[in-house]
Amino acid sequence: MNTSPITEPTEFAIEAKGLSKHFGNKIAVNKLNLTIPKGSIYGFLGPNGCGKSTSIRLLTGLLEASEGNVSILGSPLLGHEESLKKRIGYMTQKFSLYDNLTVQENLSFVGAIYGFAGKRKKNRLEELLALYDLEKQAKQFAGSMSGGQKQRLALACATLHSPELLFLDEPTSAVDPENRREFWERLFDLCATGTTILVSTHYMDEAERCHALAILENGNKRADGSPQALMDAMPATVVEVSGNKLRQLKQTLTQHPEILSAAQIGAHLRVLVKKKVQDPLNFISQLSNGRETVLARPSLEDVFVTCTGDRYVD
């Protein structure tokens, strides 16, 4: 039994130092360090298999770490998993509610797990049905709902006990852009009441909505910070080229060691030039044989490109 005392109040909802998880020879999470302030929305951005779900499971205490230390809401996670469970919510990547129970029955079941009963449970269920716009679906089987409705139900269940810290693992992967936007408005409503949210995503636009994020690749954190800070610190300048034969130009440009990447976006070629190039506009102009070139503002996708894969710039 861990008898270490609960620590002093902290401004951080999550602190992780050297957090690692090995599955046999596979290193799913490699020495992850995190400091996530209370009341913020923090993102994990990365491709399939980069370790998003494993990191979330480690931070919820559902999976035992191979190495490292974690503090959640000011308490060491190790030895306090049970008491912390009441203070955190977790929406799993795969819909994990009961298809053959109605919306109301699912909520009622989760409510019972958290010790809600009688009038308190009835009131909380009514509140959640209204808040997540599920009143009309209350008697519908969860299995027959649309992706967006299921996701609202999953969020209602994950927040039923008003957790201080909420983990959302790719919550919008089955949801159209309008519902995603709506979903994010709800996350900011929760954030405004003091809830800290850690959300994993594949989508750049979602990552840009976070207060701060970590870019993960192969279990490693490649970069972290606010979207703006990441863009400001990007080790490349963005130049857009327009004109004809852009596919051929791309082939030429990507051979060049000072060019990190070139990708076509509509009628432009978006070229990432290493920062050490003194005059990137002139540099690309010369290589582009008179095509039009302009400097462009970096995006989070550019940051992602510069800090992952072969183009990783230290």
Ligand X SMILES: Nc1ncnc2c1ncn2[C@@H]1O[C@H](COP(=O)(O)OP(=O)(O)OP(=O)(O)O)[C@@H](O)[C@H]1O
Residue 28 binds which entry of ligand X, Mg ion, none, CB below 5-8 Å type-dependent: ligand X
Task: Tell me how far, at minimum, the Cβ of 57 lies from ligand X, in Å.
Answer: 8
CB nearer ligand X, residue 56 or residue 107: 56
> Which amino acid is it at 19?
L
DSSP 8-state secondary structure symbol assigned to residue 4? P
Strand partners, 262: 271
Longest dimension (CA), the chain: 75
CB nearer ligand X, residue 62 or residue 294: 62
Identify whether the C-beta of residue 160 lies closer than 8 Å to the C-beta of residue 114: yes
CB nearer Mg ion, residue 93 or residue 252: 93
Strand partners, 215: 45, 223
Q: How many CB atoms lie within 10 A of CB 29?
A: 29
- The piece of 74-82, 87-95, 222-230, 257-265 that touches Mg ion (CB under 5 A) is 87-95
CB nearer ligand X, residue 50 or residue 59: 50
Residue 172 binds which entry of ligand X, Mg ion, none, CB below 5-8 Å type-dependent: none
Q: Which of 97, 75, 78, 79 is nearest to 87 (CA)?
A: 75
Please count the residues of this chain forming the interface with Mg ion, following the rule CB under 5 A.
Answer: 3
Interface residues with ligand X (CB under 6 A) are 23, 26, 28, 46, 48-54, 93
Q: Does 53 bind Mg ion (CB under 5 A)?
A: yes
Task: Tell me how far, at minimum, the Cβ of 182 lies from ligand X, in Å.
Answer: 23
> Which amino acid is it at 91?
M
The 91-130 contact track toward Mg ion, x by CB under 5 A, reads --x-------------------------------------
Q: What is the DSSP string of 73-92?
A: TTEESTT-HHHHHTTEEEE-
Q: Does 308 bind Mg ion (CB under 5 A)?
A: no
- Strands 292-296, 165-169: pairing is unpaired
Task: Tell me how far, at minimum, the Cβ of 231 lies from Mg ion, in Å.
Answer: 25
Q: Does 54 bind Mg ion (CB under 5 A)?
A: no
**For residue 254, how far is the Cα from the chain centroid?**
30
CB nearer ligand X, residue 213 or residue 262: 213
Q: What is the DSSP string of 121-171?
A: HHHHHHHHHHHTT-STTTTSBGGGS-HHHHHHHHHHHHHTT--SEEEEEST
CB nearer ligand X, residue 51 or residue 89: 51
Task: Tell me how far, at minimum, the Cβ of 206 lies from Mg ion, in Å.
Answer: 14
